[in-house]
Structure 1
Amino acid sequence: MTRRTIRIVAGSAAGVVLAAAAVAASFAPWPTVSATGPGTPAAPQIEVTPAAGQTVLACDGPLLALGRDAADASKLASAADTAVTSGAAAGDGPVQEADIGLPDVGTATSVTQDPVDGAPVSVAAATSASLEEADLRGFAASSCRPGSPESWIAGSAVETGTTDVLVIANPSDVTATVQLSVYGVDGRTTPAGGEIAVPAHEQRAVPVASIAGGEETPVIRVIAEGAPVRTSLQSSTMRTLDPYGVDLQPGVLPAREAVVPHVHVTQRAAQAGEDPTQVRVLGTSGESGSVDIDVVEEDSGESVFSTTAELTADVPVSVGFDGLEAGNYAVRLSGDVPFV
Structure 2
Amino acid sequence: MGEVEVCNKQVILKNYVSGFPKESDMEVKTTSLKLKLSEGDSSVAILVKNLYLSCDPYMRSRMSKLEGQYVDSFTPGSVSHVLYIRMYPIVGYGVAEVLDSSHPNFKKGDLVWGITTWEDYSIITATEVLFKIQHTDVPLSYYTGILGMPGMTAYVGFFEVCSPKKGERVFVSAASGAVGQLVGQFAKLFGCYVVGSAGSKEKVDLLKNKFGFDEAFNYKEEADLNVALKRYFPDGIDIYFENVGGKMLDAVLLNMSLNGRIAACGMISQYNLEQQEGVQNLFCIVRKGIRMEGFLVFHHYHLYPKFLEMIIPQIKEGKITYVEDIAEGLENAPSSLIGLFSGLNIGKQVVSVTRG
Higher Rg of the two aligned structures = 1
Which is richer in helix? 2
TM-score past 0.5 threshold: no
Higher-RCO chain (CA-CA 8 Å, sequence separation at least 6): 2
Higher percent of residues as strand = 1
